[in-house]
Amino acid sequence: MHSPDSQPAWRQKGFLYYPLSLYLRETFGGRVQKISIDAGFSCPNVDGRIGTGGCIFCDNRSFSPARRMNIPAIPEQIREGIARISARYKTAKYIAYFQPSTNTYAPAEKLERVYREALNEPGIVGLAIGTRPDALPDDVLDLLAGLGKETWLSLEIGLQSAHNASLDLLNRGHHFDAFADAVARARARNIRVGAHFILGIPGESRGEILATARKTAPLGLHSIKLHNLYVVGNTRLAELYAAGKVRLLGRDEYVRLAVDFLELFSPETVVERLAGDAPRDFLIAPPWSAERGNRIRQSVEEEFRRRGTCQGAKFKDSETL
């Protein structure tokens, strides 16, 4: 454990990891909420450039032509999101989160028009852009770097695992080197980079899961999101699960792994999510994935307290291993 004098500010405030909510309050001076935006982008792992099946956990109904034709305009999505969120939270500041699909998969000129359309809406104070590591050419990164000088901006890259065999099993269509390269090129342009990880990929041992943390923690990620592997309908993963070929993590097992993972990350890394947010209407398993996020958060905090540790407790180990 760190000495009291060397503890990060969030630890001195009583937190056991660096939560997104605290980071946003520190950065913007108050509550900030994300508004999910679907800009109608496709994915190179769906449209045939890399593959057509998509990731085995991805519900490809989200890429259906009918759905692509019926997406509300970005300003309308933002206004609806603000109306919905403002009824629950007292905030006037929002981040436009380009979430579904691959949100850098278009010419830079089109991307700039789309991003600025969101930024022009009242109340939008920043952008969060979800994408894949193999959809980040230099001209797109140059665009993001330019926008990052005008507004708060975070680039969220889906990785899931540092093991190429696991990425092949998930049918990601890329390997770890693509992620490491994308992170290096983005950070060279002073772009905040977040990464998504899945804990519980079939075939991965605890040691292999923690090796992913050790391999990525030194890359200087601004933020991370942890997801448990869960099964939704109409996916290849659902077929494998029905055939008895997939074992899913139990709730307690996942909580222990999540804490193991966070102990290896820098205290400066913002934790945006502790577990996946499974849609109840499509969830097949495990049932605990439908729990509210607060319950998982409480369990993670209880495990940290039981161990007497916190995020970053083993970060120096991850830098040297």
pLDDT at 68 (0 to 100): 52
Distances (CA, A) of 192 to 29, 195, 255, 269: 19, 10, 27, 11
pLDDT of residue 119: 98
Question: What pLDDT is attached to residue 1?
Answer: 45
For the cut 60, the answer to whether the pLDDT of residue 3 exceeds it is no
CA angle 54, 57, 62 (to 5 degrees): 60
The residue-averaged pLDDT of 288-299 equals: 90
Give the C-alpha distances (Å, rounded to integers) separating 199 from 58, 125, 202, 260, 267. 16, 32, 9, 11, 20
The answer, yes or no, to whether residue 186 has pLDDT greater than 90, is: yes
Rounded to whole angstroms, how far apart are CA atoms 195 and 216?
A: 9
Give the pair of three-digit tokens for residue 103: 């949100």
CATH of domain 4-320: 3.80.30.30
Please, what is the Cα angle at 217 between 211 and 222, to 5 degrees? Answer: 145
Average pLDDT, stretch 127-142?
98
Band of pLDDT at residue 66, cut at 50, 70 and 90: very low
Give the pair of three-digit tokens for residue 118. Answer: 């969101």
Q: What is the structure's pLDDT at 90?
A: 84
Span 14-44, pLDDT tens digits: 999 999 999 999 999 999 999 999 999 999 9
Strand ranges in the chain using DSSP code E only, listed in sequence order: 33-37, 94-98, 124-131, 152-160, 192-199, 223-228, 231-232, 270-273, 283-285
Average pLDDT, the chain: 93
pTM higher than 0.85, yes or no? yes
pLDDT greater than 90 at residue 266: yes
Residue 181: both structure tokens together: 């390269």
The domain ranges of the chain are 4-320
Helix (H) or strand (E) holding 25: helix 20-28
Report the pLDDT averaged over residues 252-277. 96
